[in-house]
A and B are shown apart, each in its own frame.
Chain A
């Protein structure tokens, strides 16, 4: 079965540093998402991206966050100045716009 690939699997960074999380979507998918899960909490929607623009974002997705698809393949999430509370597992998900989403295995972000 096709897979969503995320890199890195783990990222440790100092507070205030910028991080970029990368995702390679399934090739025929057009809808891209970032979700995150803080330890012990639910999986939370961050942002959806379609046709090279953000279609929806949550309250969590403030101006420290940005997404782009710079080369038509990778889909990235950038956090400009990380905070301790950004520590979480970040999941990329992609879909065809119908029914289910396919999730990557996640990037565990630890902000020290």
Chain B
């Protein structure tokens, strides 16, 4: 049951260009979305997040867009740099709907391997 889907296993872009990573979700209870970046042999590192009350959140070179009606979000990286090469995971939670504050959890997509070529 893939509640969070990243349909592109890999993406390759040139340095300086825009990278667009996509994510779809099926669970309408999800109301908080996050992007994590993962290098080999390291744990996922938080990148950026967005609440369902917003449709855009920006942090430096990274912007996340949320289209609730389409149950789709995307991460834009502009300009892309070789150091951005990593696996990017989309994650979602039903943050506002958790019971008693004790069962907050993230559901991850399978990840997209981004390669930024110099």
Contact = CB atoms under 8 A, between A and B. Distances in A.
B102 A51 contact: yes
Contacts, number: 63
Q: How large is the interface on B (under 10, 10 to 19, 20 to 34, 35 or more residues)?
A: 20 to 34
A91 B43 contact: yes
Say what secondary structure dominates the interface of chain B: loop
Contacts of B95: 98-99
Nearest to A97: B101
Contact of A31 (B45, B102, B110): B102
Q: How large is the interface on A (under 10, 10 to 19, 20 to 34, 35 or more residues)?
A: 20 to 34
Contacts of A51: 102
B104 to A, nearest CB: 6
Contacts of B32: 99
B34 A95 contact: no
Interface of B: 32, 34, 36, 41-46, 49, 89, 95, 101-111
Given A56-B105, A101-B106, A103-B45, 8 more contacts: A6-B43, A31-B102, A42-B89, A55-B103, A56-B102, A95-B104, A100-B34, A102-B46
